[in-house]
Structure formats: C-alpha cells, structure tokens
A and B are shown apart, each in its own frame.
Chain A
Amino acid sequence: MIPKALILHATGTNRDHEAAQAFELAGAQPEIVHLNQLRSGERRWADYQILALAGGFSYADALGAGRLLALDLSAYFADEVQRFVESDQPVIGICNGFQALVKAGILPGDGGQGAMPAGAAQTRAATLDFNAGGHFECRWTLLKPASQRCIWTRRMEELVYCPIAHGEGRFSVADEALLGRLAAQDQVALTYCLPDGSPAGGQYPHNPNGSSADIAGICNPAGNVLGLMPHPEDHLFDYQHPRWTRGQAGQKGLPLFINGVKYAKGLLP
C-alpha cells in the first residue's frame, strides 16, 4: 500500500511543495489540498493516511503565527482532526503547521488523551513566542532526535541538519513543570544541539530562538503527532547542504519522513 499524504494548504501556506516532495521521496503519495477543498467536500479526510501541516504564513501570521489556522481547524474540522490524531495516524506540523497544532491545543496534548478537547485553546499550556532575538531568522540548525515514543524520530541515530525560517519559534510554557512532564513522557522529539550532539544549552545561534530546554519539536503523548519549527523538508538532497562544496553531506531531513510513511504502512517497529 502506498499511503496518501494530505499536505494541508491554508491561505498563506508556502512550503507545501517541499513537504510534498519529501513525502514522495519517502514513499508516500502526497497531495496538496486547500482547506476550502475539504470544506466543500471536494476532498475527504478519510482518503488520506498521513496529515502534514506545511510551513508558511497562514493568514499572514495575523494575530500570532498559526492562531487563525488553529481557529479554522477547531471551527471546521475538530472531529476530523481528532479522528486522525486518535486513530494513531501519523501527523506532522512543520513551522507554521507546528504553531497551528500548538495553538489548537493538539500539541503537546498534555493530559494523555492526545486529542483536541473542547476549549483546548483556553487551557493550553505551551506556545511559540517571538524569537528571543526579536526578529525573523533564516539559518541552518542541528537537531538531535531525542524521542523513541515519537514515531517520526524513533530509532534515528543521525543528527538532522536543516534550516529554520521563522520569527515566532520560541517554545515557551506557562508552567515550567510541563517541561519535566514532556521529558518524562518522552515527548521531546527534537532538540537544538551542538555538532557533537550535546545540548545547545540555550546558546545562540545553536538554539536559534531561545526555546525552553532547547526544544525544536515535540510530539503528543501517543507519539504519532510531531510538531517542529525547523524545515527537514528543505534538506533532502546533497546540493542543499550549506557546505556541500566542502565535501560535507548527510544529516538530511528525509529519515523523518521515511519514518512517518513506514508507520502509516505499519512497517515501523
């Protein structure tokens, strides 16, 4: 079976083509679908086995990155998204997609049920704040896959090298205790790290935005939903590596997508 990946396009999404390319290379059949096509019934959620919320500036980041997309998800597709999440299908939100998943209360999904409870947004415990540097930044970052619970990062040995491109990526929590719970529940999927894999320790530019506990990506308690700020879909080929002319290669983003597709096929241990 070749799983079908729904690459969600909201008004202002712009990294959908790269996400589609990543899923195609990983062995899925991606389709970029606008929210309106799902609202009108022209496309049906049930026809897809993977859900990807791609990067970009949905609704121009008005009122905070991802917030209005989160509102759309809650208002129009609460049941469909909940079904995707609860039926243990792979879901990934990259950059703006991560922001939307957090602001919709789907991530970190604290409480264990991994679903979007009614009124989740009021009670949510985490957010993605403005970068500590105070502005948008585009630079390559090293990520350490840190969770075995997360199906997207499970058994990944190699670090991932890929760019960030955001102004609101600083993972922040209302209560520091949440950080401990996320770690204890193995929900910290990806952290910003140094070249030897050790923690960035909040140090700029390794941790590019001041995220708490160097968190670049988190998963829900069940492990099937991953959200991350950096763009693994922008490092699929050797020639994208910033130092390929110096003979450097590897640390691509593709293994994440391969994991997700394998999981959808029931092939991930």
Chain B
Amino acid sequence: MSPKNLNIYRFVVRARRSNDPRSASYLQDAHALGIQAIQTLECQDLYFIEGQVDPAGLEHLATQVLSDPITQTVEWGRIVSAPGPQPQAGEGQVIEVALRPGVTDPVAAQVVRAARVLGIQGVAQASTGLRFLVGGELDEAGLHLLARRLLANPTIQRYALGQLEPVFPHPAEASGQVEQLPVRHLDEAGLLALSAERRAALDLAEMQAVQAYFEKEGREPTDVEIETIAQTWSEHCVHKTFRARIHIHSRQPAAGGAVINGLLKTYIRAATQQIDAPWVRSAFVDNAGIIDFDDEYEVSFKVETHNHPSAIEPFGGANTGVGGVIRDVLGVSAKPIAATDVLCFGPQDTPVESLPEGVLHPRRIQSGVVAGVQDYGNKIGIPTVNGAILYDEGYTANPLVFCGCVGLAPKDSHPRTPQPGDHVIVLGGGTGRDGLRGATFSSMTMDAQTGEVSGASVQIGDPITEKGLIEVVLRARDQKLYHAVTDCGAGGLSSAVGEMSSQVGAEIELKRVRLKYPGLAPWEIWLSEAQERMVLAVPSEHLPALQALCDIYDVELTDIGTFTGRGRLVVGYDGRTVLDLENHFLHEGIPQRQLEAIIPAPAVVESIPLPNEQDPAQTLLALLAEPNTASKAAVIRIYDHEVQGGTVVKPLTGAQNDGPSDACVLKPIGTRGRGGIVLSNGINPEYGKRDAYRMALSVVDEAMRNAVAVGADPARVALLDNFCWGDPRRPETLGSLVEAARGCYDAAVYYGAPFISGKDSLNNEYLGSDGQRHAIPPTLLISALGLIEDVRKAVTMDLKEPGNLLYLVGEFLPAAAGASRVPDLAPSSAAIYHALHRSMRYGLVRACHDLSEGGLALAAAEMCIGGRLGLALNCPDLPLFAETNGCLLAEVRPADAPAFEAAFASMANPAYRQIGLVSAEPYLAVPGAGLQVAVEKLAAAWKRTPSHSSREHL
C-alpha cells in the first residue's frame, strides 16, 4: 500500500487529565443516543507519518509538535505489520477513526509544514485520526453501533475496532481521458437515459435543446460539455422552477391569473421593481444583494442553504455552507463582517428506533451542524450575530441549514467586467474530486483499503485558507488589480468561469489547474467543487502585484487561461479542445420549464389545541421551556459574536446578558458615521403547513418588526428570501410555493421593503426504506437587512426601570378560530412601524420586544427575564397566548408618555394602548387572568436550568 522504502510511524497522544472535557462530552453523547452500556470513554489523538525519519526527528516531532508536555503524553513507534502502542491491559476496547483519503485534513498539512520548519528530515505525508478507549459491557456489535451512531461518519470517515491501518493519498494513473457522448442519433428514451446515466438532472425538453445544438454544430458533445451544460442548467444555478411557466389549477384564480410566467419575475423581482428604492445598488444580479450604507460604503447580504450535505455530514455540510456564503460576499468585493445562521432540526428527543434507515439522529445533526458553523465562523474571524433554531418532526430526515453573510465595501469598488486579454486567475486551494456528482462518486470511494484517492460528496472546510483569500482579494480590490471576481461554488470552475465570461468568452487550459493530487479526468477538474477558491479577471500588467500579495498571505495563484471577445467558452486539456460552446447557447439556451400547480385551500386546523388560558402560569412556563422558544444561549455562546468589535446589540442582552434580542445591530469597524446595520429574520414552518400565503405575509412581517424593534428605519429595510420546499413537480407542492411567492410580493410591496437576493432549495424530501416520503414543512426564511441612523439610538428588549409604562403597539388581530389560524397583516402595520421608529429616534422608547410565538404573555415574560424586573399587566380583554402579526411591546418613561402617544396621533385606528407598568416587584403579574410568576422562575424555565421542572416552580 505504501511506496517502497517509506515507513509509517504512529503517534498516540493522551490527555493527562483524567476528566478531560472532550472525552466527557463523547460519553454524554453516547448515553444520549441510547448506548447506555458504555461506562467510560477516553478520546485520544492519532497521528500517522509516512517517510524516513530518524529517531531524534521522531522524538522531536512527538514532543515539540504533536503533544503538549503539560497536559498530554505521547507514545510513538513504527508500524511494522500491526503493532504500535496497544491498549494496556484493563483499558477496555478500542475504536479508531480516521478521515477517508481525499477528505481535506488541514491538521495533517500543518504537521508536514511544522516538520519542515523544525528541520526534521524525511516527513513525506501525514494523516490524523482519533482513538477511543471504551469501557463497559459492549460486545462487538455494540462497538460497531457506537462507532456508527456517534464516532465515525462513513461519508468522510472510516473506523476499525482495534488498530486502524492508515491510508495516505497516492497518485493514481493520470487520466486525461475525454469521452464522446453521441446524442444526435438518440430518441427520447435515449436522451433521458443519457441524462440519468450522467446524473445530469436534465429533462426531455432540455436534452432535446442539447441535441439540437450539437446537430447545428455538426458534431457530438464531449463528457466535459455535457457535464458543463448540466451544471449550468441545474436547478441550483438557474432556478428552473422559479423561472418556469406555471399553469394554475384552482377554483380561485391566483393573483397572476391562470398562467404564471416565472415566480421570480412575477412576484419576487416584481416587488423590487414596484418599490424601486433608490438605495438598492444591486438586486438579483451579483453573488449578493447590495444596498447603500452611507456616503462612503455599501453593504451586501447573501443567504444560502446547505441542507443535503448537512444531512449526511453535519459538520462538513454546515462548515462548507458557511464558507460558501462568505465567498459569495467576497465575490462582490466586500469584506465579510457578519454571519447569520438559521437551523431547522428534528426534535432532539426523537427515539433512535423511530429514525428512517440511514438518517442520522437529530441530536447528532444539531451538534455537528453547530460545530461546523462555529468552526468556520470563529476561525475565519466573522461574528455570528443573528439566527434561529427550530424543531419540527418534518426536519428529522431533512435538516435545513441557512447560512448568511453580510459584507461591507467602499461604493463602486466592485468591478464587474472582464476585458478581452485578461488572465483567468484562480486563487486559493487545490482542486480535487471534492463534491463531484455527489453520492455516486463517494460510494465508489468507500473502500479506503484500496488507497485510492477519492472525493467525498461532502468536504470539510478550511477557513484559514479562505481567510487568506479575503486578505488578498480586498487588497487587490483597493489596488484595482482585477476587472472581475467571482467565487467557485457549485459547478466549480465551469460555473465560475462560465458566468464571468458569459458576455465575452474565455479560453482555458485545464492542465494548468493546480491539483491536490494527480489522476483527475478533465471533466473532473472543470466541475470539481473544491472549496476555498476564487476566480479573478486580471490584466497582464497587474499580475506581478497580485502575485506579491499572494506571496505575503500564503495564497496560491494559478493562471489558467484568458478572457476573449469571441463569445465562446473554449476549454483545452494538454492541447486538445475538450469543450467549445457558444455563450448564448450555454446561458440562454435552456428551455423554460412548464409546470402544473394546484393552489391548496388553507388548512382548517381545529385539531391544534389553543393554549390553556385557564392555567396561564403553567401554560407560560411550559411555553418558555418548549425547545422552539427556550433560550438558545448554549449555541449562541459557542459562536464568536464579538470579533471585529462592532456588535452593538448582541444576540443576548439585558441585566444578566441573557435576554433574547429581536435583532442584531452592528457598527462596522472603520466606518465613520454613527450609522449601523440591523439584521433580523422571520421564519414559521408551523404556519407553512397551514397556509402558505399568510405564512409568507407573517414571516415578512416578523422580520420587519424584529428589525424595527431594535431601531431599524422601516423605510430602509431590504429583504432576502430563501424557500425550502418539497418536490415542485407535485402540483400541490408547487401550488403552495406559488402562494408563498405571492405572499412575498404583497408583503414586500406593502412595507416598501425590496427583495435584493434570494435562493431556493427544492426537493427537500427523503424516501425512507419504508417507502414513505418524508417531506419538510414548506419553509420560507426571510432575512432582513436594515439600517439605523445612529447606533446610540438602538433599543434592546430588556425592561429598564421600575415605574415605566408598558404599551402594546400595533393592531392586535389574532387569526380567527376555525380558519388556518395564521394571522393576516393588519392594514395599519406599516404606518405604525414608522411611528414607532420616529419615537425611537427621539429616545422615547426604553425597551421594545415583538410579539411572536406564544403571543403577549411570552413577549412580556422575556422582557422581564431580560431586565430581571417585574411587570403588572392590566389587559383582561386580550388573550394572553394568541399569535398576531404587527404587534410589539414598548417600555416608555411616564414623562415621555405624551410625546410617545403623540407619535401615533395621526393613525386612523388606535395604534397603541397602555397595558401595564414595570415594577420592582420581581413578578410577572396579570391579576385579571390569575397569573403571577416570579421572574427567576420564568428565567429558570426559559433557560431550562437543571433546577427547573415545570410544576415545582408554580
């Protein structure tokens, strides 16, 4: 397996502490996943070195590089056949885990670098792993169960009971192979078979368009061409469903009539055009939406999903999701300044036995996803400042991971036009088989014993390499070294170069692309989704300056071709032309899809019980402790939300830094004025199940009122949409998508809040081995990007001083029983938000919090928790738990009450009412409803502190 004359050395590093926290955490997870027989678990680090290293060098490596003398011990030896350090007697059983070859292993790369720095000769390659000593009554089957359920993910890892044999990537035969794929003679069945065989996901009309093109060209396509077309025409890249012509079947015709010529055009972009805000700088054109920030800067925002990768490899999926959206922002030449994440999981207490075959436990998915977000965001130095976590059984097999990134750039600093003659420059990591055609390929690589280098369908990210890209691209922007830039995302170079050259043309030589390892076929190089790469259009005269920047920041630069003015994309490999396509065909040649939709009637939900108003204290405490509403501090605190020093309103706020903020306010470092950025979101899958149209209205409203609650100017809010739906080829599913898009249009136009970017992730369904389809609830995430004129006027949600008045602001319009129970938009909401904002600018509002899930009672309870102050409410006519749109609670000093009320004077309907008083008595009290609960009990329930159990605190 290993080349001749090279040894393999094995190092085992153990913690000296007997109660090491990492081991304890694995043990806790094992118990939570139902493996009770395990009594002890010790986690150790494994390193493997391939090479010829003398004993002094090995010792040096072991003690100086691989272990910490204070906290760890290290043993090492050469692997002869099987030995090496073996568990000592009585230690129990061993499971060893390592990454599959071809999976990014940044630590291994650093081991090789460190050996070089230390002058240790003969280290050729390294790899890493983990070693688990398991104590307890586990038989062999039990150990396999533990390994599969918790310790190793077959997508990226392999494991062995006992000692694992290390595998290093070794060169396979270089291929250079290009296949012809004849299409001209194929009939309909043949075309579809070819699409299926290449996993192209092209339908008949699309395959016929391909066939017609090559008939016109008078030749057959290559595999590189078919793969490129499939990628360029994929749902991910061109949003076929959102551009499709949809034939509506419904008793009540939808707003667009019986035929909708593209959801994007008809609803989403139409709203932006209708609003026509002068401060929108770029909507739906660039990698991210862009609005004005101040006279000097513009701010960009993009939100992506990474659902399927996160389902099969939670850490890597979320990790690369964050990395990808950061590159989107870098792709508009902006400095990434904030990250957001909204996560949807199955219930954490799902019984292991009830999981569909092949589905990871929601607890494992959550911990992996959260760790993946943490790893990338923290390491790259971008604060994670806004988000949400939702639980629903519909997400058990299909978790949703929305990753957002905000960027800041000087105005007009983003160049967009490659010039003929510019070099096509790739910056960043090497190209491997990463992400190629997903599962097919990764399943071929499962047999690690072959030592073959293979790409996993999901990769681990490398945030430090991407940090280098940020350093270089921003400096290159300031020095005006490039004419265009874009990121390598889905489709890799084919997509990045294809998009950049769509107005000009390009000629590429694939042989020049820097590979992680040899042996890739041309189509694999061209399509690889290797992470952490950017493509730039650079004129010859600026190449030396760009190279100098790359040298400082340890970033690799590769020149792979030139932009031309010929209107064709031409790709060569070693002198042979392997792709030669007309730009017009590639980018405009896709036929519009024709789809059928049936508009579903809103569900009538009698079955969902209303909250119990008879025992409001019990109901409130139970609601506070419910996973969807309970504190998310445990997750928020493992994200760095302070790096870059601009977090003015933090995710957790109040007297004890633990109240839930409605939104985040940022004052970006380096900006001169007092202005700030506001980030919020709205999402409600529960509503999505019942009434897609009103759900869309509601989540736009939620994002707006969260932004307004912290002080955003409602006249300066831009929106992003992310639709996650099931299979749109099912007319009912598409019908609800149509309704949600229609709701987006109505709500955006109503609030004057334009959409500037969006994304859809469809087909979120899982076919279980039981033959059952597991579809997600229709889920729409609205992310809001708002501005605040002066961050010193920002408002937090925690109650501030006893004696202040509490107002309910907005029209209280809970949905009627017997309907879908999804509330409507109140006609006065927009005017009320503007009035509330005016009063904030005058400093009249001491605290503000929105009413959402759990209604008035939950909002009031959270304000009490935030301020550790009491509240006496006097509003016997209001249902405590009913949900409504358009409402907020505002705390106002008595002296400011007249001015505050005057701000609403022009409203037709009464837009506010005083409903309570802030009190030094630490109780939330609603005498009329028989509710009185100590604030500390509310806090304990909400924070789910161990002392809490719902009854004993009453």
Residues in chain A within 8 A of chain B (CB atoms): 11-12, 14-15, 17-18, 21, 34, 36-37, 40, 42, 55-57, 59-64, 67-68, 71-72, 75-76, 103, 121-122, 124-127, 129-140, 163, 165, 172-174, 231, 233-234, 236, 239-240, 242-246
Contact = CB atoms under 8 A, between A and B. Distances in A.
30 contacts: A18-B669, A36-B554, A59-B464, A62-B110, A63-B107, A63-B114, A68-B110, A71-B65, A71-B114, A71-B117, A75-B119, A121-B64, A122-B63, A124-B69, A125-B70, A126-B70, A127-B68, A127-B69, A129-B17, A132-B21, A133-B21, A134-B22, A137-B637, A138-B642, A139-B637, A139-B657, A236-B645, A239-B792, A243-B655, A246-B654
B741 interface: no
The 3 closest A-B pairs by CB, nearest first: A14-B381, A134-B21, A62-B110
B8 to A, nearest CB: 19
A243 to B, nearest CB: 7
Contacts of A130: 20-22
A40 B551 CA distance: 10
B648 A12 contact: no
B655 A246 contact: yes
A21 B643 CA distance: 13
Contacts of B653: 242-243, 245
A56 B381 contact: yes
| Most interface-central of A11, A37, A125, A137 (chain B CB within 10 A) | A11
Given A18-B644, A63-B110, A134 B118 contact: no
Contact of B69 (A40, A61, A174, A243): A174
Nearest to A131: B21
Interface stretch (B305-313, B795-803, B811-819): B795-803
B340 interface: no
Given A61-B379, A62-B107, A132-B21, A242 B645 contact: no
Given A56-B381, A71-B117, A234-B643, 8 more contacts: A11-B467, A36-B552, A36-B553, A76-B117, A130-B20, A138-B642, A172-B70, A240-B645
A198 B464 CA distance: 39
Contacts of A233: 645
A62 to B, nearest CB: 4
B88 interface: no
Nearest to A136: B638
Contact of A36 (B63, B381, B551): B551
Nearest to B551: A36
Nearest to B793: A245
Nearest to B555: A11
Contacts of B791: 239
Interface in B604-644: 637-644
Interface string B42-83: 000000000000000000000111101111000000000000
Contacts of B669: 17-18, 21
A231 B463 CA distance: 21
B902 to A, nearest CB: 23
B106 interface: yes
Contacts of B552: 34, 36-37, 42
A140 B657 contact: yes
B24 interface: yes
B665 to A, nearest CB: 9
Contact of A138 (B640, B792, B794): B640
B136 to A, nearest CB: 21
B638 A138 contact: yes
Contacts of B644: 17-18
Nearest to A58: B464
A81 B486 CA distance: 40
B883 to A, nearest CB: 27
Nearest to A18: B645
Contacts of B553: 11, 34, 36
B657 A243 contact: yes
Contacts of B667: 239
B336 to A, nearest CB: 11
Max chain A C-beta neighbours (<10 A), residue from B468, B645, B650: B645
Contacts of A17: 644-645, 669-670
A64 B110 CA distance: 11
Contacts of B495: none
B67 to A, nearest CB: 8
A138 B373 CA distance: 14
B875 to A, nearest CB: 26
A12 B638 contact: no
A15 B381 contact: yes
Contacts of B191: none
A165 B640 contact: yes
Interface of B: 17, 20-22, 24-25, 63-66, 68-71, 106-107, 110-111, 113-114, 117-119, 374, 378-381, 462-464, 467-468, 551-554, 637-645, 647-650, 653-655, 657, 667, 669-670, 791-792, 794-796, 798, 800
A75 B117 contact: yes
A67 to B, nearest CB: 7
Contacts of A134: 21-22, 24-25
Contacts of B464: 11-12, 57, 59-60
Contact of B71 (A76, A127, A131): A127
B843 to A, nearest CB: 11
Given A245-B794, A246-B655, A240 B647 contact: yes
A161 B793 CA distance: 22
Given A60-B110, A138-B640, A12 B467 contact: yes
A21 B668 CA distance: 13
B845 to A, nearest CB: 10
Contacts of B637: 137-139
Nearest to B634: A135
Nearest to A19: B645
Nearest to B378: A136
A37 B374 CA distance: 30
Given A68-B114, A127-B71, A240-B647, A246 B380 contact: no
Contact of A59 (B110, B551, B796): B110
A62 B106 CA distance: 7
Nearest to A165: B640
B144 to A, nearest CB: 26
A173 B70 CA distance: 7
A163 B652 CA distance: 13
A61 B794 CA distance: 36
Nearest to B26: A134
B105 to A, nearest CB: 10
B836 to A, nearest CB: 16
A68 to B, nearest CB: 6
Nearest to A17: B669
B647 A15 contact: no
Nearest to A240: B645
A138 B21 contact: no
Nearest to B462: A60
Given A127-B71, A138-B641, A174-B70, A165 B378 contact: yes
A15 B643 contact: yes
B553 to A, nearest CB: 6
A245 B638 contact: no
B797 to A, nearest CB: 9
Contacts of A11: 464, 467-468, 553-554
Contacts of B650: 242
Given A57-B378, A68-B114, A137 B70 contact: no
A36 to B, nearest CB: 5
Contacts of B119: 75
B70 A124 contact: yes
A231 B792 CA distance: 22
Given A57-B464, A134-B25, A243-B657, A163 B110 contact: no
Residue of A14, A140, A234, A244 with most chain B CB atoms under a 10 A cut-off:
A14
A64 B70 CA distance: 12
A131 B792 CA distance: 35
A85 B817 CA distance: 74
B800 A242 contact: no
Contacts of B381: 14-15, 56-57
